[in-house]
Amino acid sequence: MEEEVLSYIRKFHLDQLLEEQHLLLLELKAWKRKDILLHADSDLPYLLFLVEGKAKTSYINANGFATLHSFLYPLSILGEVELWKGIPVLNEVEALSEVKVLRLPLVQCEQTLKQDVRFLRYLVSELSEKLKNSNRNASISLAYPVENRLASYLLAVCEQDEFQEDHGEVSSMIGCSYRQLQRCLAQFCEQRLLRKTGKGSYRILNRNELSRLGEDVYGGIKR
């Protein structure tokens, strides 16, 4: 077993979640920012454990637009619902930074995983946490103004305080119109929370104030 894999097993106490036969199958995989870890509607060849970086999960609607589902941080598991139900990937997962995952090849261990009592206990806990966050995030569009949703989104996705996302995609993600998003970005610039640096690109100037605005919004599964 590679030393780096072993270090993550120790760091996240994965030996308390998985049997030794499954630990020996773990592989380390790295992705860059904006890489897609899981494609919606594709088959699930691996169960993934996020051990470094952050990612977002999005539901792809019938019209092709994405709706933000949640943000993911270590240690998060990806693909557990699909594993248990035997279905294609439900949500697209995109890296928001450089990420590393430990992946478990299901072709070698799907059946034994489903009989691993320690893993099943962890699965129940993880699914309960995700259900809680999913229900909470589903109500955000009604419960929070666009300013709060955008502030939280900016803090989660911006690398080195730079924002260069497609504005149409962002408005769909946070559940507002394109015009509402533009008004909110202009407002943040007037308040000196952001500075426009180019066409569609901005730089964060006041992270503390954005944190105050975005507090408790899109919290994701953060441990």
Is the pLDDT reported for residue 197 higher than 80?
yes
What count of Cα atoms within 13 Å lies in the side-chain half-sphere of residue 143?
10
Whether the CB-CB separation of 102 and 48 falls below 8 Å is answered with yes
Q: What is the pTM of this model?
A: 0.81
Who has greater pLDDT, 215 or 188?
Answer: 188
Instruction: Say if residue 166's pLDDT is above 70.
Output: yes
Compute the C-alpha angle 36/31/158, nearest 5°.
Answer: 75
Does residue 132 have a pLDDT over 60?
yes
pLDDT of residue 140: 61
Q: Distance between CA atoms of 200 and 44, rounded to whole angstroms? A: 35
**% of the chain surpassing 70 pLDDT:** 91
Residue 221: per-residue pLDDT = 37
Per-residue model confidence as pLDDT tens digits over 62-106: 777 777 778 899 999 999 989 988 899 999 999 999 999 999 999
What mean pLDDT value characterizes the chain? 87
pLDDT of 35 > 60? The answer is yes
pLDDT digits (tens, 9 = 90+) for 134-160: 666 666 655 788 999 899 889 888 878
The pLDDT, as a whole number, for residue 222 is: 46
Measured distance CA(59)–CA(41) in Å, rounded: 11
Rounded CA-CA distance 30/37 in Å is 10
Domains annotated for the chain, with CATH where assigned, are 3-138 (2.60.120.10), 144-214 (1.10.10.10)
Query: What contacts 64, CB < 8 A, 6 or more positions away?
Result: none
Least confident of 36-50, 165-179, 190-204: 165-179
When pLDDT is cut at 50, 70 and 90, the band that residue 218 belongs to is: low
- Flag whether pLDDT at 53 surpasses 80: yes
* Residues 56 and 72 sit within 8 Å (Cβ to Cβ): yes
* For helices 146-157 and 207-214, angle between their N-to-C axes, nearest 10 degrees: 120
pLDDT band at 124 (very low <50, low <70, confident <90, very high): confident
Contact (CB, 8 A) for 170 and 96: no
